[in-house]
């Protein structure tokens, strides 16, 4: 099995990556500005719906139900899609998915492909595989194009280039589109992308897309988007390959009525995104005449098997949890070492690939709960983070200092006399670090604390000592 999530296995630990990014003021400003705009918009359009909580609950229950019968729904989807003229392929891991796609392209002798909604293809490293086979992939989502042309990495699951400002985008476009001049207004940049891509949309014969939803009952696929590049990719080329994570299936067409309300509002703060494309197999005289669906596992079954964290697979990739997360908003997405960043990345990446490659991610959260509050399918991310933390320590992967500290503390909390003694000893132990009633430097793991903050020393008398004193004085009276 070669389960992988991009090259997340080689990524540095979260604290290390974060430290470097925190020094990049431009990036932090860009991230902060962008997330603030989306959060405000989201809050406005979510606030309009008096039935928002019921929609969240229904979305959660639909997804949970689907996972409970996932085998049935995948087979049902396959059957319906095949009946409508599609071809369904099953890929257990990244390599298998890439091989399936390459063989379809090989049969058509394709040299170029256009791509849309390709986070899952990032996950399997498809672009590398294509390039290695001499095939040029063109990302068509404006943000993906900025990332691709800038040899960059996505930093957000919905707005992958939100860490770039217009001047940076202008520089990238000037260089990579071989333009003589280009304004720096967002309109100028958007027009440049339109001109650059239009020729490709009309000419390139094969597209690779992702999918937001795959309807089991009808075999239909739904792509939710704003720019029209999705429509271009799914309806102009002769051949369409759609890569779908197995968790994207939903039981019935009617279930879209929930997600098409919650997804746009959560993702971009719109009541409805400009375009949705829904198609079923092939239609003579309209759009691709060869349609392949690749159903991808790549670790999802592992997530499914753990009932405590199964609901991770409910995710509809709206990005609301990223925008709400105070940790994400400080660092941006690159710190998470994966295309899946923010709170969902912190739980998804470690579960898809093996935990030991990303054991710092479950700790990349202050557990403030903002992610759970906004999630349109009610994934209890803080709970899952705790579950994964317990797995890290159970695997013996926690740092030595921490383990010793935790065991010692647990020992002390077994016995109130021990606690009272520990309180006394700590007061003595802190003496060497105390100056004028403040502690400004501590050694070891705790040095991180005192690098930025003072520590008020432990007071002379604990509460329980005060209480005992008071009680005995009362007794005397």
Partner 1 sequence: MQISLFITCYNDTLFPETGKAVVRVLERLGHEIEFRPAQTCCGQMHYNTGYPHEAASMMRRFLEVFRDAGAICIPSSSCVATIRDHYPKMAAATGDGAMIGEVDALLSRIFEFSELLIDKLGVTDVGAFFPHAVTLHPSCHSLRSLHVGAKPRQLLESVRELRLLDLHDADECCGFGGTFAVKNADVSAAMLSDKMRCILESGAEVCTALDNSCLMHIQGGLARQRSGVRCMHLAEILASTEAGDSR
Partner 2 sequence: MNERSEMLEGIRRAIGSRGSDRESDYASIRRGYHQALPIDLPECVHLFVDRLHDYDATVHFCPVEGIAATVAAVLSGRRKHSLLVPPQLPPDWMPSNFEFIRDTGLSYGHIDRSEGVLTGCAIAIAATGTIVLRHSAGEGRRALTLIPDYHLCVVFEHQIVGTVPEGIRLMSEFGRAPITTISGPSATADIEMTRIKGVHGPRTLDVILVA
Task: State both tokens at 107.
Answer: 């049969």
Q: What is the phi/psi pair of residue 90, to 5°?
A: -120, 125
Q: Applying CB under 6 A, does 250 fall inside the site for ligand SF4?
A: no
Question: What CA–CA distance (Å, rounded) separates 336 from 346?
Answer: 7
- 391 binds, options partner 1, partner 2, ligand SF4, none, Cβ within 5 to 8 A by partner type: partner 1
Q: Which of 160, 168, 186, 140 is nearest to 322 (CA)?
A: 160
Q: Which of 110, 113, 161, 321 binds partner 2 (CB under 8 A)?
A: 161
Q: Within 10 Å of residue 420's Cβ, how many Cβ atoms?
A: 15
Residue 208, contacted partner among partner 2, ligand SF4, partner 1, none, CB below 5-8 A by kind: none
Contact status: 266 vs partner 2 (CB under 8 A) = no
Nearer to ligand SF4, 232 or 315 (CB): 315
CB of 464 to partner 1, least distance (A): 6
Among 5, 11, 18, 74, the residue binding partner 2 under the rule CB under 8 A is 74
Q: Which is nearer to partner 1, 400 or 463 (CB)?
A: 463
340-399 positions binding partner 1, by CB under 8 A: 360, 362-370, 372-373, 383, 386, 388-394, 398
Beta strands 213-215; 220-225: pairing state: antiparallel
Among 17, 119, 129, 159, indicate the residue that binds partner 2 (CB under 8 A): 159
Q: Is 46 in the site for ligand SF4 (CB under 6 A)?
A: no
C-alpha 415 chain-centroid distance: 43
Q: Which tokens hold the place of 238?
A: 């002769």
Alpha-helical runs (H) found in 8-69: 14-22, 25-47, 52-68
For partner 1, the closer of residues 68 and 366 by Cβ is 366
Q: Does 29 bind partner 2 (CB under 8 A)?
A: no
Query: Cβ closer to partner 1: 299 or 332?
Result: 332
Helical segments of 357-446, H only: 370-374, 381-394, 400-413, 416-429
Residues numbered 279 to 308 that lie near partner 1 (CB under 8 A) are none
Nearer to partner 1, 194 or 427 (CB): 427
Q: How far is the CB of 327 from partner 2 (least distance, A)?
A: 20
Helix (H) or strand (E) holding 240: strand 239-245
Please choose, from the candidates 124, 154, 148, the residue with its C-alpha nearest in 3D space to the C-alpha of residue 5.
124
| Nearer CB in complex with partner 2: 176/427 | 176
Distance CA 241, CA 207 (A): 6
Nearest CB to partner 1, comparing residues 23 and 285: 23
Please report how many Cα atoms fall inside a 13 Å half-sphere around the Cα of residue 61, on the Cβ side: 8
Rg of the chain (C-alpha set): 26
Piece in contact with ligand SF4 (CB under 6 A), picked from 103-111, 189-197, 316-324, 389-397: 316-324
Write out the binding residues for partner 1, residues 410-429 only, by CB under 8 A: 410, 412-416, 419, 423, 426
Residues sharing a CB contact under 8 Å with residue 195, sequence separation 6 or more, in sequence order: none
DSSP single-letter state for residue 216: T
What count of other Cβ atoms lies within 10 Å of the Cβ of residue 194?
A: 14
Q: Judged by CB under 6 A, which of 154, 237, 281, 376 binds ligand SF4?
A: 376
Beta strands (DSSP E) in 246-306 are 249-250, 275-280, 290-296
Q: Which does 202 bind (CB under 5 to 8 A by kind): partner 2, partner 1, ligand SF4, none?
A: partner 2
Is residue 382 near partner 2 by the rule CB under 8 A? no
DSSP H or E stretch at residue 434: strand 434-435
Residues 439-468 within binding reach of partner 1 (CB under 8 A):
440, 445-446, 448-449, 451-456, 458-459, 461-468
∠ CA 22-26-31, nearest 5°, is 75
Instruction: Mark 252-291 with x for binding to ligand SF4 (rule: CB under 6 A) and - for no binding.
Output: --------------x-------------------------
User: Can you tell me which of 18, 55, 206, 375 binds partner 2, judged by CB under 8 A?
Assistant: 55
Minimum distance from residue 31 beta carbon to ligand SF4 (Å)? 16
* Alpha-carbon distance values, 460 to 423, 425, 426, 465 (Å): 10, 11, 11, 10
Residue 62 binding ligand SF4, by CB under 6 A:
no
Tell me whether residue 13 is exposed, middle or buried, using C-beta atoms within 10 angstroms of its C-beta: 0 to 12, 13 to 18, 19 or more.
middle
For partner 2, the binding residue among 2, 68, 426, 461 (CB under 8 A) is 68
Residues 172-191 close enough to bind partner 2 by CB under 8 A: 186-187, 189-190
Q: CA 416, 417, 423, 425 torsion: positive or negative?
A: negative
Query: What is the contact surface with partner 1 in residues (CB under 8 A)?
Result: 14-15, 18-19, 22, 326-327, 330-331, 360, 362-370, 372-373, 383, 386, 388-394, 398, 402, 406-407, 409-410, 412-416, 419, 423, 426, 438, 440, 445-446, 448-449, 451-456, 458-459, 461-468
């Amino acid at each position: 099995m070669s389960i992988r999530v991009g090259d997340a296995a080689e990524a540095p630990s979260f604290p290390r990556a974060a430290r470097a990014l925190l020094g990049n003021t431009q990036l932090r400003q860009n991230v902060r500005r962008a997330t603030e705009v989306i959060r405000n918009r989201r809050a406005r359009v979510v606030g309009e719906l008096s039935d928002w909580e019921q929609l969240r609950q229904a979305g959660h229950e639909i997804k949970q139900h689907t996972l409970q019968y996932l085998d049935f729904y995948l087979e049902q989807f396959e059957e319906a899609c095949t009946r409508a003229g599609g071809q369904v392929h099953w890929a257990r891991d990244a390599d298998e998915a890439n091989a399936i796609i390459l063989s379809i392209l090989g049969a058509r002798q394709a040299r170029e492909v256009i791509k849309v909604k390709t986070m899952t293809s990032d996950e399997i490293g498809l672009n590398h595989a294509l390039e290695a086979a001499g095939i040029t992939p063109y990302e068509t989502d404006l943000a993906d194009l900025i990332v691709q042309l800038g040899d960059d990495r996505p930093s957000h699951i919905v707005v992958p280039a939100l860490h770039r400002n217009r001047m940076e985008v202008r520089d990238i476009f000037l260089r990579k589109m071989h333009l003589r001049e280009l304004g720096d207004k967002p309109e100028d940049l958007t027009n440049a992308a339109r001109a650059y891509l239009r020729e490709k949309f009309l000419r390139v014969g094969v597209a690779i897309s992702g999918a937001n939803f795959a309807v089991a009952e009808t075999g239909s696929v739904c792509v939710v988007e704003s720019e029209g590049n999705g429509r271009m990719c799914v309806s102009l080329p002769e051949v369409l390959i759609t890569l779908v994570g197995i968790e994207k299936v939903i039981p019935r067409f009617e279930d879209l009525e929930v997600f098409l309300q919650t997804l746009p509002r959560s993702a971009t703060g719109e009541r409805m995104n400009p375009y949705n494309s829904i198609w079923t197999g092939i239609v003579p005289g309209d759009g691709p005449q060869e349609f392949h669906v690749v159903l991808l596992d790549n670790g999802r079954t592992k997530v499914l098997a753990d009932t405590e964290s199964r609901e991770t697979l409910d995710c509809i990739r709206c990005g609301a949890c990223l925008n709400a997360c105070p940790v994400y908003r400080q660092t941006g997405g690159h710190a998470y070492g994966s295309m899946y960043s923010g709170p969902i990345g912190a739980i998804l990446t470690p579960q898809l690939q093996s935990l030991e490659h990303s054991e710092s991610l479950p700790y990349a959260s202050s557990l403030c709960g903002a992610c759970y509050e906004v999630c349109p399918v009610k994934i209890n991310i803080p709970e899952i983070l705790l579950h994964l933390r317990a797995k890290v320590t159970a695997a013996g992967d926690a740092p030595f200092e921490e383990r010793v500290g935790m065991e010692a503390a647990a020992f002390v909390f077994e016995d109130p006399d021990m606690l009272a003694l520990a309180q006394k000893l700590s007061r003595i132990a802190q003496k060497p670090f105390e100056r004028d009633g403040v502690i400004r430097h501590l050694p070891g793991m705790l040095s991180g604390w005192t690098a930025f903050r003072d520590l008020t020393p432990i007071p002379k008398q604990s509460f329980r000592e005060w209480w005992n004193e008071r009680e005995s004085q009362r007794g005397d009276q």
